[in-house]
Amino acid sequence: MVRPALALALTAVVIAGCTRTDWHEPPARTETVTASPTTDPTTTRTETAATSSTTDPTTARSGPATIPAPGRLRASTSTAGFVSPSGKIACTLSAGETPFARCDLRSGSLPVPPEVRGECIHDSGTSMVVDGDGARPGCVSDAVQGQSTTEARAAGWWREDFGEGSLGEAVLPYSRALDVGDGVGCESRTTGMTCRVGEHGFTINDTAYTTW
């Protein structure tokens, strides 16, 4: 016979187990945040599954298709940095002890939801970060500086026809990807910059960001 107090304790454990939210659920879904088309300072926030036929999170996409091998570059170093051809985005990535990638907007501001911005004591409107824990708006007090063309050339991934930014930083051309380790890389497109660390990643441009 189960004592009433023990039965209540067991019931509480079962209820708690049923209502617990698994931290790993968000990467199975794609979150896109875009600027509102009106002058309303609020943002439009949506979460969508990978396909229109089902909302099963196991079928959610893991970001845009990767740039194929002919367009991929590999740095000989465990770290690298660059700017986009437009100069609006600067990124740094590392395959070190704690692999990560980070991109900063140099023009514009990300439509970070108020609840996210309110938790940051620094700047949370210009940076995106991805690491083994997932992708999210960065809370930063510094700014990304791309590698110089001399450093990027020495790392084996940059060449002169790729161009350089106004500050002498190496440019990652559109339709090119740069990897610094297995599963750690960024991809440059006219629609924005995509960076991945393992199964996590983000895409950023000057009006929106997407995480998975």
Residue 71 lies in a domain: yes
Across the chain, what does the average pLDDT equal?
Answer: 79
Is residue 9, in this structure, part of any structural domain at all?
no
Name the band, by pLDDT with cuts 50, 70 and 90, for residue 123. confident
In a domain, 16, yes or no: no
Q: Give the sign of the dihedral formed by CA 14, CA 48, CA 50, CA 27.
A: negative
| 43 is a domain residue | yes
The CA distance from 74 to 136, in Å, is: 25
- Of residues 207 and 201, more confidence is placed in 201
Query: Which of 107, 82, 108, 89 has the alpha carbon at shortest distance from 180?
Result: 82
Within-domain flag for 44: yes
Least trusted range by pLDDT, from 17-21, 119-123, 170-174? 17-21
32 within domain boundaries: yes
Is residue 5 domain-resident?
no
Q: How many domains does the chain have?
A: 1
Task: Give the percent of the chain with pLDDT over 70.
Answer: 71
Residue 169 contacts by C-beta under 8 Å, 6 or more apart in sequence? 81, 82, 83, 90, 145, 146, 147, 148, 149
Domain of 180?
Answer: 27-211
pTM, to two decimals = 0.72
